[in-house]
Chains A and B, each alone.
Chain A
Amino acid sequence: MKRARGKWFSLVILIVPLALLMALPVYVPSDYTVILITNILMYVVLTLSWAIFSGPTGYISLAPAAFFGVGVYASAILSSDLPLPVVIPIGGAASFILAYLVGSLTLRLRGMYFTMFTFGLVELIRNLLHWWEVNITGTVGRLIIAADNTTVFYAMLATFLAVLFTSYLIRRSKVGLALRSIGESEEAAAHSGVNVNRVKCAAFAISAFFMGATGATMSMRWTYIDPTSAFSIQFSFMPVLMAIFGGMGHLYAPITGATLFSLLEELLTTKFPYYYMLLFGLTMLVVILFMPHGLEGIIEKWRGKIKAGLRSSRETT
């Protein structure tokens, strides 16, 4: 009975903002708001997909920019010939394949070594592409057939729903359980029958799929791209910071973290353009020092208190 009520409650919490989001371009005529929300959704998707693999396993990947950039370029090459709903999954699939290959080679690396490698991967692909564009195609940048803001917004929203649903399914599945066990002890997981390498590669590739899809979507807003902007390391660091800011234990945590973080970034860049980086750094310091589990830690503490309060009030009456 109580559980069912909790389920309905979460469903309402999910559906109301979603409905508001879906109707957004109708009741908000301002382009600025639509673009802002699209940007926030982009970071939410990147953070959620980062958390699919890195959250439970604790492997800190700095590769999101690589997968995002591959998606951007897939879309740059294909968008003149193919429709948007086809281009986006292809961008995702290209990143999926790259991640699976890279993963099967490198996921035996642990801790710092893995992080360093993923950081290097972004630089490697960016430089390779740069070389290719200069020497083979003879142009550094590319023009993209742009889609209008509303279309990009809906494409981003669809990607968000897809990553949300996928994360939810993985968390509930035995693969989710296996990923958590890998995060605690790979040795014990393997001796309990988990094919550790395959599970890691699959989760890494699935998370890369959504990063690639995001890149393919966002490139349509940019009209002009080059390797430096498509593979900007910002797309690697932001999801990590946002996940730390929000927390990773519950599904709502990376969403909240990414949303507030990108709003904060927007606010700081527009209101304090000169002190923006300084304020940003200070905020991050405060979060790491005083909120070890991010926003989630605080929210869960409140939830615990409210639950305890309800219980005691029920007992006294």
Chain B
Amino acid sequence: MKLLEVAKLNKHFGGLAACTNVDFHVEQGEIVGLIGPNGAGKTTIFNLVSGALSPDSGAIAFEGCDIAGLKPHEITRMGIGRTFQSVKIFSKMSVFENVLLGHHFGKSKPSNKKGAKEETEGILEFVELSGMRDSRAMDLILANQKRLEVARALATGPDLLLLDEVMAGLNPTEVAQAMELVKRIRERGITILMIEHVMKAIMSICDRIIVLHHGEKIAEGTPGDISKNRTVVEVYLGE
């Protein structure tokens, strides 16, 4: 089943074409990678899908509904969660409150105060941040701040999770842990679309990869296909 289907998506910023006639889809249960050089339009696509920007033209269908141009909170409540390239946690709030907020306002409907608390604690345990539940978010190290952002997105109860460079700036051990986390999220039945520059991670965990360059899709396929694709190697991976 196609969970997300994007057709003929266009977005221009003045004379800059950030996204030109992009078509792609994400199947239920997949992990799909979105790669490309800096400025290729990856984050623009995330912003269009999550409602931060509205497209100039084109269609975005999520679970069969057209969501192009809806507000971010509406899209979140339909079941699309996201993280940000530069971490945007609520730094003065506690770790617990960060996640609780996602739970209160997302798609998941908590039955009562106790239920919300239990579910929030469950998510903190899932991302292994239980020990820091009362710390202020700003006191966490980067790897944990990124985990917290993932936890907040998970708390909104998403069917599709957009991860924008969750592994950037992490050391090799942390990258391995983050990869592990992404796999475990998929095991929960959540579909994942991720932007990533860490090739090792992309190649080993994605089912499919979409390559963007100058706002256009230049290739799509399994990791094996992509690493052999001549155009991709020329513009992105390098010889």
Contacts and interface: CB of A to CB of B under 8 A. Distances in A.
A190 B73 contact: yes
Interface stretch (B12-20, B26-34, B97-105, B209-217): B97-105
B181 interface: no
Interface stretch (A74-82, A147-155, A181-189, A210-218): A181-189
Given A177-B104, A178-B105, A192 B91 contact: no
Contacts of B191: none
The secondary structure that dominates the A interface is helix
Contact of A192 (B52, B71, B102): B102
A183 to B, nearest CB: 8
Contact of A193 (B73, B91, B97, B100): B73
Nearest to B156: A193
22 contacts: A174-B104, A174-B105, A177-B104, A178-B105, A181-B90, A181-B93, A181-B101, A187-B52, A188-B84, A188-B88, A188-B152, A190-B71, A191-B52, A191-B72, A192-B76, A192-B152, A193-B77, A193-B104, A193-B105, A194-B101, A195-B73, A196-B73
Contacts of B93: 177, 180-181, 184
Nearest to B93: A180
A231 to B, nearest CB: 35
Interface range on chain A: under 10, 10 to 19, 20 to 34, or 35 or more? 10 to 19
B72 A190 contact: yes
A211 B105 CA distance: 29
Contacts of B106: 192-193
Interface residues of B, number: 28
Nearest to A198: B73
B50 interface: yes
A177 B100 contact: yes
Nearest to B116: A174
A313 B89 CA distance: 38
Interface string B119-156: 00000000000000000000000000000000011011
A34 to B, nearest CB: 41
Interface centre among A174, A177, A188, A192 (most CB of B within 10 A): A192
Contact of B90 (A174, A180, A196): A180
B42 interface: no
Contacts of B155: 192
Interface string B61-92: 00000000001110011000110100011111
A104 to B, nearest CB: 14
B208 interface: no
A193 B76 contact: yes
A190 B101 CA distance: 11
Contacts of A190: 52, 71-73, 76
A184 B90 contact: yes
Contacts of B11: none
A294 B192 CA distance: 46
A178 B50 CA distance: 19
A278 to B, nearest CB: 36
Contacts of A185: 88, 90
Nearest to A173: B104
A147 B107 CA distance: 52
Contacts of B89: 188
A160 B11 CA distance: 52
B114 to A, nearest CB: 14
A187 B71 contact: no
Contacts of B50: 191
Interface centre among B72, B89, B102 (most CB of A within 10 A): B72
Given A191-B73, A192-B156, A193-B102, 18 more contacts: A174-B101, A174-B105, A177-B100, A180-B93, A184-B90, A184-B92, A184-B93, A185-B88, A190-B52, A191-B72, A191-B76, A191-B153, A192-B105, A192-B106, A192-B155, A193-B76, A193-B107, A195-B73
Nearest to B76: A193
Contacts of B73: 190-191, 193-196
Contacts of A180: 90, 92-93, 97
Contacts of B156: 192-193
Contacts of A181: 90, 93, 101
A184 B52 CA distance: 17
Contacts of B102: 192-193
A191 B82 contact: yes
B154 to A, nearest CB: 11
Contacts of A184: 90-93
Contacts of A196: 73
5 smallest beta-carbon distances between A and B, as pairs: A193-B105, A188-B88, A190-B72, A193-B76, A174-B104
Contacts of B72: 187, 190-191
Interface in A150-185: 174, 177-178, 180-181, 184-185
